[in-house]
Amino acid sequence: MSSVAGFRREGVEWISEATGTRWVPVIGLEVHAQLRTRTKLFCGCANEYGAPPNSLTCPVCTGQPGTLPVLNGDALELAVRAALAIGAEVAPRSKFDRKNYFYCDVPKNYQITQYDQPYCQGGGVELPSGRRVRLNRIHIEEDAGKSMHETEGVTLVDLNRAGVPLIESVTEADLDGAQDAADYLTALREILVYAGVSNADMEKGEMRCDVNVSVHPAGEPWRTKVEIKNLNSISNVVGAIEHEIPRQIAAWEGDGPDPVQETRLFDAAKGATRSMRTKEGEADYRYFPDPDLPPVTADEAFVEAQRAALPELPAARRERYQSRMGLSAYDAGVLTASRDVADFFEAAARLSGEPKEAANWISNEVLRALSGDELEAEHIDELPLKPFDLAELIGLLDKGVLHASGARQVLREMMRTGKAAGELVIELGLEQVQDDGALEAWCREALEARPEVAEQVRDGKTKAVGALMGAVMQASGGKANPQKVREILLRLIGVEE
Amino acid sequence: MSGESGKGPLDLGAAELREALLAGEHTVVEVVEAHLARARERDGELSAFQFLDDERALARARELDAARAAGEPPGPLFGVPLALKANMCLAGVETNCGSRVLSGYRPPYTATFVERALAAGAVPLGITQMDEFAMGSSGENSAYGCPRNPWDPTRSAGGSSSGSAVAVAAGLCPISLGSDTGGSVRQPAAFCGIYGLKPTYGRVSRYGLVAFGSSLDQVSPFARNVRDLELVLETISGHDPRDSTSLPLPPFEPERPAELMRLAGLRVGVPSQYRGEGLDAEVGTVCDAALAQLESMGAELVPIELPSTEHAIPTYYVVATAEASSNLARYDGSLYGARVEGDGSLQGMFAATREAGFGEEVKRRILLGTYVLSAGYYEAWYGQALKVRTLLRRDFERAFESVDLVAGPTAPTGAFRLGEKTSDALEMYLSDVFTVPASLAGLPAVSLPAGFLPGDGGLPVGLQLIGPALAEARLLRVAAAFEAATDHHARRPRPLEAGGVA
């Protein structure tokens, strides 16, 4: 985290250079994540990103008079999986409420949400630092549309997003800095993506964050909290928190007014928050149970079915990769950073029977290629290379058909063209020479050219054989199997290994 | 135009009309033309319809005649003219709910119950007048005109489904649909001398009925005889996956008892609370006679108590207005309906649209509903109302342990004069005092023609029968027995007698 003038940072504390006071931040996050359903929460319109404005609408999600909402069962299933993925409790009975407020991107002028009986309570998320962030609740709600204030007096509204299913998760105020917030969002995103609940792509607005921040001198009670709304990237969350903490401290310490309970917006361009409305300006949402929707029931059988459908989550996978497959903690981390990569790895490991090899090839070659710009693909699932292809390549290496540098060459071509490894080996002329007669001939040539090396080897400097191997490899045009060459050379020199 | 039965198509009920059509006595086009002509002739005076949709109705009639000629099986409402209340969505037809704020609004979709009626062969003639957003008991709260009671045009037809009641009572169509939130079908049925049935909450899909009080609203038919009422309920009821509050049940099936007029063993609960203060003495006398009639047919009258009844009106006006304040929030000029730009800001447009678009009663109820849901007041008002609602339900549950149905007057008075109650909202609200309890409890209730007042030019009086949840068949069986034993239902308003049957 950056340094801020006027403060010294010690652990979580911000020490004011002016007063010497040690300030402790208290932070909680509210995260909206779009559920990955085929259709919207209460109607049959497609839940899709990027369609022409208002093309994904119907009488229900445009709030036409007389229409009624019908809960999308898939949304409930995904929401319950999210709850289970963070170890939370699913309420056997919850209900939907109406949150009443007038705005042009809310076609009914109320939002259907869950107020005092959310479907999920508790749970928590582990951060890499070891800290556990507790969740207070998760509830299901419908998204609003998108309004764009074009020029003065013109507002355009796109209702494609209106009625898209969201889950809003609310943490306890367990975080104490921007790093925590960033770690939490990363971890939560990972869980939601793994669980198949949400794509949680912040750039597409599939995951959005509100931050609650307050500061207090160490050892004193908590003070007034401020909400910063609509943060749409982790860097904005970090920026907003890093700005808001010193702003609040300065306000407490200065002669001006103390911080008030309010809602602020973060201006990423200026790197500053500004007031949107104070508590007095808050709407009275007049929540009441939505009479159009019966209570939601999630009985044990339903919850257990969702648990069974839940894929293994990243922490469990990392643990298994290390304990059962012998991977390093680092490799396990790299491979589980995205579910697609982990799934790819597991398939390749299973098909090849060589988890370590599969891990090495993926993390050293495939992921590196994806992060560079020689390939069009950015994600592993966009590659023409499939786990089966990688397993085949590993098999060819094992059998000695290919050596490592040849395999790298083949892999690059596989990622580009999707051709099979065997085919490429022939196409690129990379088959290793397995014929002992030919290998022995090259070895004899090398020994004759450098008799002094054979002497060194006989004297015990086995390593020196490398020089001879280099010569053989050169003579073979790189196609000799190094393992075999070594064996033959040592045999010809008359040394036992 | 008179058939072998000696009756013209204008004199027939829905079931009879269908039979006449199938017997080849008339074509659907003839039937529809006759009703449109009658409606056009009479409606200047009655103002039942917002508009008649001749073109659509005749096109539909021709389709049905052609389908019949092609040998397609006729639906249960084949060729039957139908009137729809102005809060029912029919794709492309203006659905303004009697409000300026929805003037010109043509829904892009058709309500489930309308689809079902159409599929059964019904022919919508037009859209009827109603109190704005179904808020009212007299028909006077409409931006588009106030229907007249066909028994006395100086009097109210009741509300809010005023036009649909008048259309059936005056013979402009044999059946119509209204919506009943706190009595909006039963009370006008009583005022107009016809049958009105509010089904069990959830019997009929609300998809396509513009919401007023979502936990109370039910689409409800009007008819001039019990069989027609059953026919309509059979057609429009049954589960609808588009309405999560619709009950997971097949369509309603009527009982057809072997001995229609025997009511032996039937226990009829007569609540003391339905005969107290505010009940017009003459209305009470007519209802007593009707109850005595039931008794003479073998029913046992059992005095019962529904002690929470006195809280029903305040409870209703909290629950219904709370829901309405939220349901009506969407009318802000941004997506559909009327728009008033105001000061140019978004909030300004919302405010100006709503200020100009809503009538006084609707504004009053939105304010009331907004207040009872406000932070700090919620528990005292809305929360409390929900508790009382539970008590009202329990009252009925307890009663139905010892009786089969509950009977009493539908409304405390006969049709009152137009303008008589407009200055006093509370007095207007009290005309729903007997209908609101069944609404809050979600129970089925029917208003049937029970007799006539001796004075006031012989205005009709309605008897209300309330049953346990899903006991429509029982209610209608009793109503049919009463119908068979009396002729109140057969008496028609005078102008109709004069201009009707030869």
Q: What is the 3-state secondary structure (H, E, C) of A33-94?
A: EECCCCECCCCCCECCCCCCCCCCCCCCCCCCCCCCCCCCHHHHHHHHHHHHHCCCEECCEE
Residues of chain A whose pLDDT is less than 70?
Answer: 1-3, 280, 433-434, 497
How many contacts does A have with B, using Cβ atoms within 8 A? Answer: 102
Provide, as residue numbers in chain B, all residues whose Cβ is less than 8 Å from the Cβ of A292: 211, 214, 244-245
Q: How many Å apart are CA A445 and CA B317, to the nearest integer?
A: 106
Domain ranges (residues) in chain B: 9-314+381-498
pLDDT score at B495: 57
Ranking A147-161, A395-409, B60-74, B228-242 by mean pLDDT, the lowest is A395-409
Asked if A293's CB is within 8 angstroms of B330's CB, the reply is: no
Residue of chain A whose Cα is closest to the Cα of B87: A66
Instruction: Among B107, B209, B323, select the one facing A291 at the smallest CB separation.
Output: B323
A280 to chain B nearest CA, in Å? 13
Is A292 close to B207, i.e. CB distance below 8 A?
Answer: no
Which one of A104, A153, A292 has the shortest CB-CB distance to B334? Answer: A104
Sole residue written with tokens 């080897």: A457
The reported pLDDT for the residue numbered A497 is 65
Give me the mean pLDDT over the B13-20 stretch: 97
Instruction: Inform me whether the pLDDT recorded for B2 exceeds 50.
Output: no
CA distance B44 to B39: 9
Instruction: Supply the ipTM of this predicted assembly.
Output: 0.95
Residue of B nearest to A54 (CA): B335
Any B CB within 8 A of A280 CB: no
Amino acid identity, position A109: N
Answer with the residue of higher pLDDT: A444 or B223: B223
**pLDDT tens per residue across span B333-388:** 999 999 999 998 889 999 999 999 999 999 999 999 999 999 999 999 999 999 99
ω before B160 within 30° of 0 (cis)?
A: yes
Active site residues of B: 85, 160, 184
- In this prediction, residue B6 carries a pLDDT of 58
Task: Please answer yes or no on whether B211 and A65 come within 8 Å at the CB atom.
Answer: yes
Percent of chain B with pLDDT over 70: 97
pLDDT band at B501 (very low <50, low <70, confident <90, very high): very low
Identify the closest residue of chain B to A111 by CA–CA distance. Answer: B326
Task: Give dist(CA A446, CA A440) in Å, integer.
Answer: 10
Q: Determine the distance in angstroms separating the CA of A83 from the nearest CA of chain B, rounded to an integer.
A: 25
Nearest to A102 among B211, B347, B374 (CB): B347
B438, B184 contact by CB (below 8 A): no
B87 and A291 within 8 Å at the Cβ level: the answer is no
Neighbours of B344 (CB within 10 A): 10
Distance from CA of A70 to the nearest CA of B (A): 6
User: Are B308 and B272 a contacting pair, CB within 8 Å?
Assistant: no
**Contact present, B353 and B340 (Cβ < 8 Å):** yes
Are A436 and A425 in contact by the 8 Å Cβ rule? The answer is no
pLDDT of B455 strictly over 60: yes
* Residue closest to B169 by CA, chosen among B178, B177, B180, B157: B157
User: Among partner residues B89, B97, B242, which is closest to A70 by beta-carbon distance?
Assistant: B242
Neighboring chain B residues of A155 at a CB cutoff of 8 Å? 346
Phi first, then psi, for residue B330 (nearest 5°) are -70, -15
Q: Residue A130's pLDDT is what?
A: 87
Which pair of structure tokens corresponds to residue A473? 């490899």
Q: Which residues of B touch A107 (CB under 8 A)?
A: 330, 335
A295 touches chain B (CB under 8 A): no
pLDDT reported for residue A119: 97
| CB < 8 Å to A294, chain B | 244-245
| Partners of residue B374 in chain A, C-beta under 8 Å | 284, 286
Inform me whether the pLDDT recorded for B146 exceeds 70.
Answer: yes
> From residue A256, how far is each of A217, A253, A259, B136 by CA, in Å?
18, 9, 9, 56
Residue of B nearest to A112 (CA): B326
Q: Do A98 and B97 touch (CB under 8 A)?
A: no
Chain B: give the shortest CA distance to residue A116, in Å.
13
Tell if the CB–CB gap between A102 and B344 is shorter than 8 Å.
no
Q: Do A68 and B95 touch (CB under 8 A)?
A: no
pTM given for the model: 0.87
CB burial readout A205-214, b (16+ within 10 A) else e: bbbbbbbbbb
Say if the Cβ atoms of A286 and B373 lie within 8 Å: yes
* Sequence-separated (6 or more) residues with CB below 8 Å from residue A368: none
Q: Taking CB atoms and an 8 Å limit, are A288 and B382 in contact across chains?
A: yes
pLDDT at A453: 86
CB B471 within 8 A of CB B444: yes
Q: A100 — contact with chain B (CB < 8 Å)?
A: yes
Q: Which residue of B has its CA nearest to A289?
A: B323
Question: What's the 3-state SS for B301-312?
Answer: EEEECCHHHHHH
Predicted local distance difference test score (pLDDT) of residue A478: 72
pLDDT band at B492 (very low <50, low <70, confident <90, very high): confident
Dump pLDDT digits (tens) for B86-102.
Answer: 999 999 999 999 999 99
* CA A320, chain centre distance (Å): 19
| A69–B contact, CB cutoff 8 A | yes
Class of domain B9-314+381-498: alpha beta
- Tokens 């929030």 sit on residue: B329
| Count of beta carbons in the 10 Å neighbourhood of residue B398 | 13
- Chain A residues whose CB is inside 8 A of the B336 CB are 64-65
Between chains, do A59 and B108 touch, taking CB under 8 Å as contact? yes
* Cross-chain residue pair A109–B329, CB shorter than 8 Å: yes
Most B-contacting residue of A58, A95, A102 (CB-CB within 10 A), to test interface: A102
Question: Using CB atoms, which residue from A62, A64, A110 is nearest to B329?
Answer: A110
Rounded to whole angstroms, how far apart are CA atoms A486 and A477?
16
Query: Which two tokens mark B221?
Result: 């038919």
Q: What does the alpha-carbon distance between residue B56 and residue B59 come to, in Å, rounded to a whole number? A: 5
The whole-angstrom separation of Cα B24 and Cα B321 is 50
Bridge partners of A112, per DSSP, are A98
